[in-house]
Structure 1
Amino acid sequence: MDSKNIVVEVVYALADKQKLLRLILPYGTTVRQAAEQSGMAAHFPDLDLSTCPLGIFGKAVAKPQERVLEDGERVEIYRPLIADPKEVRKQRAARAAQAKADAEGT
């Protein structure tokens, strides 16, 4: 393979549909550019690749428009959170405390 190119994967998943695309891109391609050039939007029409959060191998990339990819990396396109994880944990803890209090009261 030409040393001026890199091979990367771009992945995106919904609850019922997943897609992994393997791309050959020029060296110097950023995370955001790889996502936009992947063609993933054709498979997921509601996906806005210009603003969605991105990561590499499970770690979010703070500035995907600046982070240059290396050969073999996997770009992950993240969905927006439906609920705030901190709030969900807080509600779960409150329910558990209430259940414990109810069990001790009976």
Structure 2
Amino acid sequence: MGQINVEVCYATDTLQFRRALRLEAGATIRQALDVSGLAVEVPGIDLAAMAVGLYGKKKTLDTVLREHDRVEVYRPLIADPKNARRRKVRKS
């Protein structure tokens, strides 16, 4: 069936995780995260509870990957973007 090249990315204000992987065709986001070692390098991260996506679009862990996909793990928002914009407008 062949293999595909993908990348797994995660970032915080103090850490950047970026790992290129070669997986069997038909692999899912869940499998990419398992193979990437992200859970080992970032202790305490709960990958099952975090949002994931491909190129900025949210996807499920069971999404099948394609060649050159970039799997992104999203952190929870600390502020509601709408409220932040409203506060900014009020200040100006």
What is the aligned length?
A: 92
From the two aligned structures, give the one with the greater strand fraction. 2
> Deviations for 1:42-98, whole angstroms, at most 9, x for unmatched residues?
11112111121111122222xx223210011111111111111111111111222xx
Residue number among 74, 80, 84 corresponding to 2:76 in the alignment? 80
- CA distance in structure 1 between the partners assigned to 2:32 and 2:79 by the alignment: 28
- CA distance in structure 2 between the partners assigned to 1:40 and 1:65 by the alignment: 15
- CA distance in structure 2 between the partners assigned to 1:89 and 1:49 by the alignment: 29
The secondary structure found in structure 2 opposite 1:47 is: coil
Deviation at 1:36, TM superposition (A): 3.0
Does residue 11 (structure 1) correspond to residue 9 (structure 2)? The answer is yes
Q: Hey, what does 2:88 align to over in structure 1?
A: 92
- CA distance in structure 2 between the partners assigned to 1:51 and 1:33 by the alignment: 16
Listed as ranges, the gaps of 5+ residues in structure 2 are none
From the two aligned structures, give the one with the greater helix fraction. 1
Taking structure 2 as the reference length, the TM-score comes to 0.87
% same residue: 41
- CA distance in structure 2 between the partners assigned to 1:81 and 1:46 by the alignment: 18
Alpha carbons 1:32, 1:54 under 8 Å: kept: no
Taking structure 1 as the reference length, the TM-score comes to 0.77
The secondary structure found in structure 1 opposite 2:26 is: coil
Alpha carbons 1:36, 1:49 under 8 Å: kept: no
Structure 1: 4+ residue segments shifted above 6 A: none
Moved more, 21-30 or 8-17: 21-30
Listed as ranges, the gaps of 5+ residues in structure 1 are 97-106
CA RMSD of aligned residues (A): 1.5
The secondary structure found in structure 1 opposite 2:30 is: helix
